[in-house]
Amino acid sequence: MSQTLYYSTNKRSPAVSLKDALLTGQAPDKGLYLPEQIPQIPLDEILAFKDLPYHQVAYAVLKRYTEGMIPDEKLKNICRDCYDYEVPLEKVFGNNHLMRLDHGPTASFKDFAARMMARWMRFFLEQDQNDLVILTATSGDTGSAVAHAFHNIDRIQMVVLFPILEVSDRQRKQMTTLGGNVTVLSVDGKFDDCQAMVKQAFTDPDLKNIRFSSANSINIGRLLPQSVYYFYAYARLAREGRPAVFSVPSGNFGDMMGGLLAKRMGAPVEKFVIATNANDEVPKFLETGRYGKIEPSRVCISNAMNVGHPSNLARLVDLYGGAMDEKGAISKNPDMERMRRDIFAVSIPDDETRAAIKETYEKYQTVLEPHGAVAWAGLMRYLTAGGKPELAISIETAHPAKFPEEITRLIGIDPALPPSLAQVEKKPEQCQPMDKDYGQFKKILLGKFA
């Protein structure tokens, strides 16, 4: 098979290799990269995944995208190195299951993608003897997963900015206890101030000798690894190749895009339940065919999903034959009928999310956290609406111990911290305070990297 190229959803810049797509992130025309050909995996091979550990499934799926760019042996080792943790599948009741993607080092499903992206980047940088500085502004989960993924990765320096008052103690410690190649700056300001400084640094001519990248959620290197767990769960739980339903808690819709790619690659999925919190712009879009962002985004307890203009939407529209630009304007309508056949979209308000956490614990002794509970409640709505899946898998994206106040208040237990998070509590913190002052930020960057 020949090498896969990646095109931009805005179609105004040329298709590029995986390496270029990965190292640039967003295409020059501000579109998002997608593979020109979606590789196919035959059903008998998918069913045989049931006997493989997760890292081998990852290798079998991802080698189809890295062919000709990363040698197979290298990719095998990278997969083993990335996925050295469990991916539990639990039956909750009847045909309904839970997949816990929360056993990685930062107890968030973002570990799955961030770890792979970091290792792919290192591979390509080593090839060219290049170095890279990753700049990221964060208000929580993404920053810790990305910082952890790049920690101790050769040829890469990482700088994380976070708003001092908007990040919880636990989230902060996950970033400030890493040290080494990870520099953490606590900003006396808001998330938007951090974001603005990062953006300015990217285009500052005085910094043009420093090679920057952002590693944010639209990077193709984060999208592709998110299709692997759909194959993994399907193979382990499906009977005789019959189709499954997945329920996906969604914010920027990267997780869902991974699922849709898996379906296009051949995974037998009859429906994706796409569950958002009160930020319901995508369920509304599926219902009406019209898209409007929500500004500012609504604050909900599933805070990693408080997104009013999802960054992966242009990819969804493109996959169904339409065109949407980076601002959300649609210039060509997608095939809405086909989209509705594949996707059942629901918006779950906080009270229903809390009720799902309570009920799932009381009835089945299963502990959910707010994001996974949104997906679970979405699946329950699908069943109520008459869906009769032979196999349903709801995705849990964070560990309940990351939300101790909410969980304790609702079900009266304080979930034990997974070992990776417990260790963090005791380590010393390193963090440089700064004002929301670009001049100061620039001086730090010049001092460290110029």
| Chain contacts with ligand PLP (rule: CB under 6 A) | 108-110, 141, 249-255, 304-305, 371, 397-398
Closest CA to 175 of 138, 144, 199: 144
Contact 328, 293 (CB under 8 A): yes
Tokens of 192: 């938007």
Q: How far is the CB of 88 from ligand PLP (least distance, A)?
A: 16
Rounded least distance, CB 150 to ligand PLP, Å: 17
Query: Whole-number minimum distance, CB 293 to ligand PLP, in Å?
Result: 15
Q: How far is the CB of 398 from ligand PLP (least distance, A)?
A: 4
Report the nearest approach of ligand PLP to the CB of residue 124 (Å). Answer: 24
φ and ψ of 222, to 5 deg: -95, -25
Cβ-contact 401, 418 below 8 angstroms: yes
In terms of CB distance, is 123 or 403 closer to ligand PLP?
403
Q: Which is nearer to ligand PLP, 142 or 176 (CB)?
A: 142
| Cα end-to-end span (Å), the chain | 42
174 Cα distance to chain centroid: 18
* 156 and 126 Cβ atoms separated by less than 8 Å: no
| Angle 76-182-134 from CA coordinates, rounded to 5° | 70
Contact indicator for 157, 133 with CB cutoff of 8 Å: yes
Q: How far is the CB of 102 from ligand PLP (least distance, A)?
A: 8
Closer CB to ligand PLP, residue 77 or residue 311? 311
In this complex, which beta carbon is closest to ligand PLP, that of residue 187 or of residue 375?
A: 375
Q: Which residues contact 331 (CB under 8 A, 6 or more apart)?
A: 323, 324, 325
Min dist. Cβ of residue 271 to ligand PLP (A): 17
Helix, strand or coil, per DSSP, at residue 98: strand
A 10 A CB-CB count for 237 gives 17
Residue 319: which residues within 8 A CB-CB, separation 6 or more? 34, 257, 260, 264, 334
Which is nearer to ligand PLP, 249 or 334 (by Cβ)? 249
Is the Cβ of residue 26 or residue 157 nearer to ligand PLP in the bound state? 26
- Which CB atom, from 92 or from 114, has the smaller least distance to ligand PLP? 114
* 423 membership: H or E segment, kind and range: helix 419-426
**Shortest gap between Cβ of 252 and ligand PLP (angstroms)?**
3
| Shortest distance in whole angstroms from residue 33 CB to ligand PLP | 16
Between 395 and 410, name the residue whose CB sits nearer to ligand PLP: 395
Between 201 and 314, CB nearer to ligand PLP: 314
How many other C-beta atoms can be found within 10 angstroms of the C-beta atom of residue 22?
Answer: 24
Q: Give dist(CA 291, CA 310) in Å, integer.
A: 11
Which residue bears the tokens 């042996």? Answer: 73
